[in-house]
Structure formats: C-alpha cells, structure tokens
Amino acid sequence: MDSTQMKVCTKCQKSKPLSDYYLDKRRGKPRARCKTCIDEDNRLYENKNAEATTAYRQKYYQKNKPHINELNNKNYRLKPNDYSERAKINYVKNKREYQLRNHKNYIINLESITTRHTVYAKWYLNTPSGKICIIKSKSKSRGLGYTPLNNWFEGSEFHHMFINNDVNIGIHIPKKLHRSVKHNPANEFSMTKINTLAMNWIISDCTRQAASIKSILEMTT
C-alpha cells in the first residue's frame, strides 16, 4: 500500500496514511477502520468475552498447532532481537499482572508442583551429583553454628533467623510454615516476614505447652 496516500477512518473520522490500515485480503483494499480503532474494538470484545475468546484461541491453536509453531519459529529466526525486545517491554509494562497470574497458577497447581518436585528430588539425590550436594549441604549446616531455640520434632524444618552477625539462632518450625514464604538472607523484606511468622509460632507453641503443664499440675494437686 502507498504510505503517502491518505484515507479517512469510518470510526474515528481521522485522516490517516494507508500504512495505518490493515489490508482486507479478500478485497485487496485497506479496511474501512484504522488499525488503532480495530485494535481497540478487539480489546474491548476480548475483555467482555474473556472466557469465550480464550476457549476459541485454545481450540484454534490445538487445531493448527504445527502450522502456528512453524510460523512463529520462522518469524523468530528472521527477527530474534525484535522478539526479545518486545518481550522485555511487555513484561515491564505488565509486570504486576504477570506476577499475580503466576502466583495464582502456582496456588492452583501447588499440589501437582510439590509432587513433581518431590519425585525429582528423590531421583536427583540418588545420583552422584545429588549425593555430593547432600554432603555439601550437611557440611554447610554444621558450619553455620546456629543455636536452636527449641528441639526438633517430626514434620519440622530448621529456620535460620539471620537477624545479624551477632545473633546466631534458629527455630524448628512446621515444614509447611517454613515453606509458605520464599525467603533469602539477601532479601530483608522476605526474612522479616518469615522471622515474624516463626517467632509468633514458637510463642504460641510455648503458650500451649505452658497451659498443658499447668493443667497437668492442677490435676495432680
């Protein structure tokens, strides 16, 4: 199409060059509405009919999977930098949306993910590399020199508090609680969150134990 020739969009009534219009392949002519108006209408329709649109796309993809993959691979090989740059821009623009969607999918599929990880871990720890990893892990744990505030119990994991270099303490807490927050000593926010949960748990546990001992003493007197 001649990019210098102008055409008036039937929706926004603005005069735009032909390069701003999609080509109608059946007629071989530019469409009546400009790209901006068509894209906006499509976006509104998808938002209004999200489930139907998703179902249609999935069905279409499954039906034309080999052809679509071939086209995508071909386009990627021709312009790999364009794909990478577009992906980066899209991620930065919709970062929070991606994070929420990934977290939602993680929660929904938590059981299957945990099962896969458990199966893989059992297999890996029996390989030569896995056995070396176990030795290194045990050596590292012994070298940490953390003082436990309570005793180990079945179903517990040891949580290193990482408060500062002068306070080397840890708590045996339930495995589920320990893994409920992804934490790393380099991330102060995540450590503060898991440390608070661990301290609240041990305080409540001590309170339960004290109440239990008190009731036993009252029964014996």
| Cα 113 from chain centre | 12
**82-118 tens-digit pLDDT:** 888 888 888 888 888 888 888 888 888 888 888 999 8
**Domain map of the chain by residue range?**
1-48, 60-93, 95-144, 145-221
% of the chain residues with pLDDT over 90: 22
Q: Comparing 1-5, 14-18, 23-27, 120-124, which segment has the lowest mean pLDDT?
A: 1-5
Q: How confident is the model at residue 35 (pLDDT cuts 50, 70, 90)?
A: very high
In the numeric block, which tokens belong to residue 124? 């890996």
Strand 23-24 to 29-30 pairing = antiparallel
Mean model confidence pLDDT for the chain: 84
**173 or 211: which carries more pLDDT confidence?**
173
Query: What is residue 186's predicted lDDT score, i.e. its pLDDT?
Result: 67
Mean pLDDT (whole number) for 10-27: 90
Six-digit token string for 1: 């199409």
Q: Is the pLDDT of residue 144 over 60?
A: no
State the pLDDT confidence band at 143, using cuts at 50, 70 and 90: very low
| Bridge partners of residue 186, in order along the sequence | none
pLDDT at 149 over 90: no
Residue in 168, 164, 165, 156 with CA at minimum distance from that of residue 198: 156
- Of the listed ranges 60-74, 97-111, 115-129, 160-174, the least confidently predicted one is 160-174
pTM, entire model: 0.36
Question: Which residues 6+ apart lie within 8 Å of 169 measured at CB?
Answer: 146, 147, 148, 149, 161, 163
**157: helix, strand or coil:** strand
The contacts of residue 133 (CB under 8 Å, 6+ apart) are 124, 125
